[in-house]
Amino acid sequence: MHDIRLIREDPAAFDAALSRRGLGPASPEILALDEARRAAIQAAETAKADANKAAKDIGAAKARGDEAAFDSLRAEVAAKKADTARLQEEAKAKDAELHDLLLALPNLPYADVPDGASEDDNVELKSWGTPRALPFEPKEHYDIPAAKPGMDFETAAKLSGSRFVLLSGAMARLHRALAQFMLDLHTTQHGLAETMTPVLVRDEAMLGTGQLPKFGEDSYQTREGWWLIPTSEVTLTNIVAGVTLDAARLPLRFVSHTQCFRSEAGSAGRDTTGMLRQHQFEKVEMVSITHPDESEAEHARMTACAEAVLEKLELPYRTMLLCAGDMGAGARRTHDIEVWLPGQNRYREISSVSTCGDWQARRMNARFKEDGGKPQFLHTLNGSGLAVGRTLIAVLENGQQEDGSVTLPAALRPWIGGAERISSAGVLE
C-alpha cells in the first residue's frame, strides 16, 4: 500500500519507480480519484454546515411568526441534508475505489535495485564455496540410488496428482532433520523466536502481505473461504496487523516451520520432475518487524542468517540482488540465495530475503509509537531460512558418490543419530 501524500508531493518520481517494474504511469488516475474524493468530502462538509446554519434560522423565523421563511428554511435544511448524504456516499465510493487501486500496485524498488526485466539482469553480490569436481556424471536428486527407495512420486500422484512426493525411510528422516537443524540454528544462534502458526488464514491476512487481491490464483482456497498459506510470511507478519507497538519492543524476530501450498499457476511445464517445484512443501520462514531506521541493517542480518544454514551444511551458493523486474510485488529489495545443484549443473534459488519497507504495514495498519511521538508505520522483512525440500535436494546432489551413496554434512549428523551417509540402498549408516 502506498502513501497518497507522497504521490501527491512527487507524482513523477512515483511513476518513474513503477516504470522500473514495467508498469505505465499510475499517478494521473490516482490523483484524479483523490481530487474527486476530497472535493466530495469538502462539498459534504459545506452542505452540512449550511444545513446547520439554516436549522438555527428556523427557530428565529418561528419566533418571529414568519411562516414563509420557516417553510423555506425547513425545505432548505431537508435539501442540504440530502445533499450531505449523497456527497458522503460519493466520497465513500471514491475512497474505496482509490483504496482498491493503491492495493493493486506493487511496491517501489529502492534506488540501489538494478534495472532489468528478468533473472538475466540480476547482480551477484557474493559467492561461497567451490562446487566439487566430480569424477563421474552427477545425477539429479530423484535419480540418485540412495534417494530412490525413499522418494516415491508414483504413489503421491495416485493420492494427489502431479507435483507431490511421498518420502519414507532415510528421506523422511533427513527431511525432518533438516527442518529441526534450521530451527535450532535460528533460535539458538540467530535470536529468532520459534512460532507455530495456522496454515489456514482469512482474506485479510492474505491481503495484508500482498497475496491478494492480484495473486489469488497462485494459492488454494477452501470451500469455507480460508486460504492455505503459500508461506508462513503471511501468518508471522500478520501477528502485528492492527496493532500499535511500543518502539521499545522492536525488533520482533520470528521463525516458523510450516507446510506451504502453492498452485504454481504461473509455472506450467517448469521443473515438473522431482521435488524442486511442488504444490505442497515445507519451509522454515523468518520474519522481522522493525523500526524504519533499522530495516536496512536487518535485511543484511536476515540474509546472513539464511546463508549461515548453507555454510554449515557445506553447500556452495551465491547471493543475488534481484533486478526491479524480477522482484515479488511486495518487495523493495530482494536477495535471492541460490544453491549449487550438480545434477542440473547450475545454481537454483533456495531462499529469497526481502525488505518491504512500510508497504505491508500500511495494508495491515501495523504501527509503532515512541515516547511522546505519533504512531508510525512499521517496516517488515521476510525470508526463507530455508526451503526444506530444496535443501534436501542440495544435500543429496552435493553429497552424491560414484557408488550411488550420499555423504551427509557433518553439521547435520547430531539430528540423524550420528549417521554419516546414506547407502546406495537408501539406508542411513
Q: How confident is the model at residue 417 (pLDDT cuts 50, 70, 90)?
A: very high
pLDDT tens by residue, 88-108? 899 899 999 999 999 999 999
Which sequence positions are flagged as catalytic?
262, 277, 349, 352, 390
Whether residue 262 is annotated as binding a ligand: the answer is yes
Q: Is 130 annotated as a binding residue?
A: no
Q: What is the 3-state secondary structure (H, E, C) of the chain?
A: CCCHHHHHHCHHHHHHHHHCCCCCCCHHHHHHHHHHHHHHHHHHHHHHHHHHHHHHHHHHHHHHCCHHHHHHHHHHHHHHHHHHHHHHHHHHHHHHHHHHHHHCCCCCCCCCCCCCCCHHHCEEEEEECCCCCCCCCCCCHHHCCCCHHHEEHHHHHHHHCCCCCEECHHHHHHHHHHHHHHHHHHHHCCCCEECCCCCEECHHHHHHHCCCCCCHHHCEECCCCCEECCCCHHHHHHHHCCCEEEHHHCCEEEEEEEEEECCCCCCCCCCCCCCCCCCEEEEEEEEEEECHHHHHHHHHHHHHHHHHHHHHCCCCEEEEECCHHHCCCCCCEEEEEEEEECCCCEEEEEEEEEECCCHHHHHHCCEEECCCCCCEECEEEEEEEEEHHHHHHHHHHHHECCCCCEECCHHHHHHHCCCCEECCCCCEC
pTM: 0.92
pLDDT greater than 90 at residue 322? yes
Least confident of 84-98, 240-254, 266-280, 347-361: 266-280
**Could you tell me the pLDDT band of residue 72, with boundaries at 50, 70 and 90?**
confident
Read off the pLDDT of each residue in 307-331 and give the average, rounded to a whole number: 98
| Annotated binding residue 382 | yes
Residue 233 assigned ligand-binding role: yes
Domains within the chain, CATH numbers bracketed: 4-103 (1.10.287.40), 119-422 (3.30.930.10)
Q: Check pLDDT > 80 for residue 415.
A: yes
Please check the confidence at residue 413 and state whether its pLDDT lies above 70. yes
State pLDDT tens for residues 28-55.
999 999 999 999 999 888 888 877 777 7
Q: How confident is residue 268, by pLDDT bands cut at 50, 70 and 90? A: low
> What's the mean per-residue pLDDT of the chain?
94
